[in-house]
Each structure stands twice: as C-alpha cells, then as structure tokens.
Amino acid sequence: MSRVIFWSTVTFCTAFLALPLLLVWPLAFNTSSFLTYPLEGLTLDWFHQVLTQPTWVNAFLKSLKVALGAMMLALAIGGLAATGVILVPRVLQVVLTGLFLSPIVVPTVVVGVAFAYAFGRAGIGGGYFSLVLAHAVLGAPLVFLSVLTSLRGLDPNLDLAGASMGASRSYRFRTITLPLALPGFAAGAVFAFITSFDEVVVALFLADPGSTTLPIALFAGLRDRLQPSIVVVAVLLSAVSLLFLVLLRRLQMRVAAPKS
C-alpha cells in the first residue's frame, strides 16, 4: 500500500517537473501556428523564420558576445578571489567569502536597480560594456565557489613537494596548482557563461534598445503575443543549456578522475 502511494507520488512529481518542457518543445515543429495539440504536421519553417529574422539573430549574437565577455571577466575575478582567499587567515576567509558570494543572495531586482542607477550616473550607460560588467558580477561568485572547491580538494603536499625541490611559488602555481585546479576553472566558466546567457532581470534594467539580448527579446515577445517563434527560441535556449550540462558533466568526471 505505502509502496503504491510512494510510486504514484514520485511519478506525479517527476511528471510535474519534466512534462511542461517535454510537451512544449514539439510545438516548435508544429505546422499550425496554434500552440496546442494535436500536432497537425511537422515542419522546420518556424526555425527557418527565427534564424532568418534579424531581430532574433542579432539578439542571439548580442547574448553570445555579452556572455563570452562576462565569462572572461568573471573567470578573472572569481579565479583570483579563490586563489587568494585560501592563503589568508581563517577570520578574513569568512569575511571575504561572504563578500565574494554576496551577489548570489541579493535579489536580482535590487541588483538591477543598483546597476542601472550607478552605471547611469558613472556614465557607462546601458551598452555592451555595462552588461558585461553586470553579468560578470553575477557570475563571479559561481567561479569563486567552483575554483575554491577544486583548490580545497587538492593535496597541499604536492605543492610542498615542489617547494622542497626548489621550485619558485609562481613556477609551482603554473605547473602544479593551476593544471590540477583547471577543471574547477572550466566548470566555473561554464556556470558564468550560462548565468549571463540566461540572465534577464538585470539586463531588462540596464540594456538600452541597441543591446537587446535573447532573454530580453523572449521576455518582450511573451508579453506581446504568443507565437511559434517564441517556442522556437525557447527550444534553442534549452539546447544551449543542455549542451553545457553535458559539458559540465564531462568536467566533473575529470575532477573526480585524477584521484583514482
């Protein structure tokens, strides 16, 4: 009896989590422009439409450029922060970790207001650079966490062994620590990229009309009118996420591998 209840609950909950996406994706291939079942036929016309429409293509390219820039900057900030933080005394570590992780806790709307106001006053405006800077701040905590975790997992004796053989600090860092912590950096980069690529709230506050990213275009489209092109964009975004999920799994396997 309890077994039946358990399995029906799990089935229901899994369906709740998975079905919305699984049901909506096929609608991007539907011949009809009504977004419902039964499917009238399969077509790639909507994909063709989206991929040839300058608004969507430009938004996609903008998102890609912003995400790449934000990833690089977040990687630098978060990576430096993590490699520095493991060297300082315990109390300072707690304080600095709190500082470096704080962007995760602050609601994105508040971050949006803060950036829009401060960047506006500093004259950075709402263009490409301001989006990169804002998204880098949102991505840096994730890089920080990821790199910190991989650094903490290293055996400090490896570094000490290098030191005992006369290797300088920077040489040890380049040849021992960095290669071993590389999967942590890579995973952090993936996190930062996806965070920026999917980010909509801060972008809505900051971006001027010339820097519409894909999430902003999707958000605006949803408020405007439901049409197949919106579902197509959602499917494309999901595909990008899926790609990165697979990439991350690979990286995590590489983190686990060297121990064996």
Q: Is 226 in the site for another protein (CB under 8 A)?
A: yes
The 96-135 contact track toward another protein, x by CB under 8 A, reads x--xx-xx-xxxxxxxxxxxxxxx-x-----------x--
Q: HEC string of the chain?
A: CHHHHHHHHHHHHHHHHHHHHHHHHHHHHECCCCCCCCCCCECCHHHHHHHHCHHHHHHHHHHHHHHHHHHHHHHHHHHHHHHHHCCCCHHHHHHHHHHHHHHHHCCHHHHHHHHHHHHHHHCCCCCHHHHHHHHHHHHHHHHHHHHHHHHHCCCHHHHHHHHHCCCCHHHHHHHHHHHHHHHHHHHHHHHHHHHHHHCCHHHHHHCCHHHCCHHHHHHHHHHHCCCHHHHHHHHHHHHHHHHHHHHHHHHHHHHHHHHC
Residue 81 or 183 having the CB closest to another protein: 81
**Minimal distance in Å, beta carbon 3 to another protein?**
9
User: Which of residues 64, 72, 86, 182 is near another protein by CB under 8 A?
Assistant: 86
Q: Is 66 in the site for another protein (CB under 8 A)?
A: no
Site for another protein in 146-175 (CB under 8 A): 156-157, 159-160, 163, 169, 172-173
Q: Is 21 in the site for another protein (CB under 8 A)?
A: yes
User: Which of residues 64, 80, 167, 182 is near another protein by CB under 8 A?
Assistant: 80
* Interatomic CA distance for residues 168 and 123, integer angstroms: 44
User: Which of residues 9, 31, 33, 252 is near another protein by CB under 8 A?
Assistant: 9
Name the nearest CA neighbour of 61 among 180, 232, 197: 197
Q: Is 94 in the site for another protein (CB under 8 A)?
A: no
Q: Is 251 in the site for another protein (CB under 8 A)?
A: no
Site for another protein in 31-60 (CB under 8 A): 34-37
Amino acid identity of 231? V
- Site stretch for another protein (CB under 8 A), options 44-52, 60-68, 234-242, 252-260: 234-242
Q: Is 90 in the site for another protein (CB under 8 A)?
A: no
Residue 18 or 256 having the CB closest to another protein: 18
Cα-Cα-Cα-Cα dihedral of 86, 87, 91, 94, to 10°?
-30
Q: Is 4 in the site for another protein (CB under 8 A)?
A: no
User: Which of residues 81, 145, 180, 189 is near another protein by CB under 8 A?
Assistant: 81
Q: Is 189 in the site for another protein (CB under 8 A)?
A: no
**Minimal distance in Å, beta carbon 255 to another protein?**
16
